[in-house]
Structure 1
Amino acid sequence: MQFSDTKRFALLIDADNAQAKSIDAVLTEAARYGDTTSRRCYGDWTSQQLAPWKAVLNRHAIQPIQQFSYTTGKNATDSALIIDAMDLLYTGKFHGFFLVSSDSDFTKLATRIRESGLEVIGIGRRKTPEPFRAACNKFIFTETIMEDDVSVSEINSVSDKPAISKISDSAADELKPSEQPQISKVTNPSHDESLKKLIKDAIESASEDDGWANLGGVGSYIPRVDSSFDPRNYGFSKLGKLITSLDYVRVEQRKMETGHQNIYVQFQSP
């Protein structure tokens, strides 16, 4: 990709509601989407509570924005971040924003930026209120992207379901669920009822008359319904690997007229 083709993002961090230890993972994740040409972190840097941030700001060329707490109980940091976000929005220089916080006060900001046609990616902890998560195009949990101390035995126990026999050996290798696990939450996804409903709705929305849906269509539907969905939340690096592990989904590889191989999925009713 040429540099001129790279999406430009503003990375705005609420130091009061983000973790300094997560910044390496945050920047690595942000690099997957484009170039963070503006990096700002907001807080009252006279407070000892923000001391852990001071070391990482210089290391990652993040500009600290000082905001004194004028009144107890009022968060002036939020206001400063919101004002700067709107100023940056009006420059027209960015394709989107990363909002790093677990604070629902940024819900309206995320909605306003999206109304302008820009992408909003939120990054915060699992406890982040649902309204803020839903207001973002995508919301990423820091627990998911940070390195997790999970033993090999736990990783291998996530799923023991073999690849569907209809899939070729090469496709099975690509979709094998235990291949590249980045696990933040060890569980059997087939037992997650909310995931089951989401996958069922996605397949039905993208399916053709025969009930089979292209995996690409399923992948496009899901984030429009659940912005915080990420296959890594279930221990899989890709949606295809997660889909293959589910007991209630049939998977089939089809050769298109162009010669390309497409993956199709079908929901299996109990």
Structure 2
Amino acid sequence: MSAPVPAAESRIAVLVDCDNTTPDILEYALRVVAQFGRVVLRRGYGNQNTLGKTWQEALVRLAFTPCLQYQYAAGKNTADIALALDALEAMFDHRADKFCLVTSDSDFSYLCRKLRERGATVCIVGESKTPEALRNASDQFFEWRPAATAATETAAGAPAHTKPDVPKQPAIKRRPRFVVEAISLLASNTSEGRVHLSALGQYLKRTDPSFSPASYGHSGLVDMLKTYDLLALKREAGGHYTVELAEMRLTDANASATTSLAIGS
């Protein structure tokens, strides 16, 4: 018997704007895209100073192809154009169907839109400075935060005096109103008035590519929804969850009770 043929994996291109970000972001970007498929293109774009000094070690260690672009005139960034052209070429040649752009430069917003218009999926890995225009142009935005810096050393080589550890305050759990509005909208299109959590999660990501329950102090979407008084969460027979507006459940219960009284009379 022949071995089963595995399902076709998505082919991912990771394209890095080295002139715009730091090498520390690279490993995080690779961890992010590992969930989507197989990375077939790894390229870093920048000028001779960026690639030869700041990025050389990271690009070599993580097997990225450096794409050197000389600056033909002062103030001109030729690396951005090279990255955009290579992305479109990879899409038209069918070498990649998903793209991860590692940048915080809003100039790539138009590239994201063109790739998506042609059916490609685009995610952005960027820093907190990433403008909304670029975040919303992608299918999904992942924000990289630099790790805490180690204690500084004194000139003599001894560790500098550090402040005593302060107990970490628990994250404040918030309940944004737009989640209730999303469930109300999605539930209105179903006969049972309930929404599957997978559909809700996809909708929230589509409306805000940077959405994450962790940003509001929750460990996950289920944990987040449990804090809402206006929502009723239900675990179905298959193990998945659905959610509905609590007022809808109360309305249905009142309707059933009225019907029962009418029949009894």
TM-score for both structures, normalised by structure 2? 0.75
Following superposition of structure 1 onto structure 2, how do residues 184-195 of structure 1 map, counting pairs within 5 Å?
187-190=172-175
Check conservation: 2:91, 2:97, Cα contact below 8 A: no
1:195-235 superposed Cα distances (whole Å, 9 cap, x missing partner): x1331222112225675432222112112211121234345
The percent of aligned pairs where both chains have the same amino acid is: 30
SS in 2 for 1:12: strand
**3-state SS of 1:261 partner:** coil
* Amino acid aligned to 2:101: L
The structure-2 alpha-carbon separation of the partners of 1:249 and 1:63, relative to structure 1 and needing over 3 Å to count, comes to farther
Provide structure 1 residue ranges, at least 5 long, that are not aligned to the other structure.
159-186, 191-195
> C-alpha distance in 2, partners of 1:110/1:63?
22
Distance 1:147 1:251 in 2: 38
For the 8 Å contact 2:143–2:210, the answer to whether it is kept is: yes
Amino acid across the alignment from 1:16: D
User: Of residues 241, 245, 260 in structure 2, which corresponds to 1:263?
Assistant: 241
Q: What do you get for the CA RMSD once the two structures are aligned?
A: 2.8
Query: Given the superposition, is the C-alpha separation of residues 56 and 49 from structure 1 closer, same or farther in structure 2, using an over 3 Å criterion?
Result: closer
Residue in structure 2 matched with residue 213 of structure 1 by the alignment = 195
* Change beyond 3 A, Cα 1:49–1:87: closer
Task: Give the counterpart letter for 1:114 in structure 2.
Answer: R
1:69-148 paired onto structure 2 within 5 Å: 69-143=71-145
Relative to structure 1, the CA distance from residue 3 to residue 140 in structure 2 (aligned partners, 3 Å threshold; closer, same or farther) is farther
Q: Tell me the distance in 1 between the aligned counterparts of 2:20 and 2:245.
A: 40
Between 103-112 and 15-24, the greater mean CA deviation after superposition: 15-24
Cα drift, residue 24 of structure 1: 1.2
Number of the residue aligned with 1:177: none
Runs of 4+ in 1 over 6 A off after TM superposition: none
Q: Could you report, residue by residue, the CA deviation over 1:168-217 in whole angstroms, capped at 9, with x for unpaired residues?
A: xxxxxxxxxxxxxxxxxxx4323xxxxx1331222112225675432222
On the 8 A contact 1:189/1:234 being kept in 2, the answer is yes
Question: What are structure 2's unaligned runs of at least 5 residues?
Answer: 150-164, 248-265
Aligned residue type for 1:242: M
Say if 1:62 and 1:236 are closer, same or farther in 2 by CA, change over 3 A: farther
Q: Name which of 182, 193, 196 aligns with 1:202.
A: 182
CA drift of 1:239 comes to 2.3
Structure 1 residues 56-67: aligned runs within 5 Å: 56-67=58-69
Deviation at 1:267, TM superposition (A): 4.9
Closer, same or farther in 2 for the Cα pair 1:49/1:189, shift >3 Å? Answer: farther
- Normalising by structure 1, what TM-score? 0.74
Mean CA deviation greater in 70-79 or 128-137: 70-79
Match of 2:17 in 1: 14
- Equivalent residue in structure 2 for 1:253, among 225, 228, 234: 234
Q: Number of matched residues?
A: 227
Q: Counterpart in 1 of 2:259?
A: none
Helix, strand or coil for the counterpart of 1:265?
strand
| 1:2 CA drift (Å) | 6.6
SS of aligned partner of 1:26: helix
Describe the shift of the 1:235–1:42 C-alpha distance in structure 2 as closer, same or farther (beyond 3 A): farther
- Which structure has the larger Rg over C-alpha atoms? 2
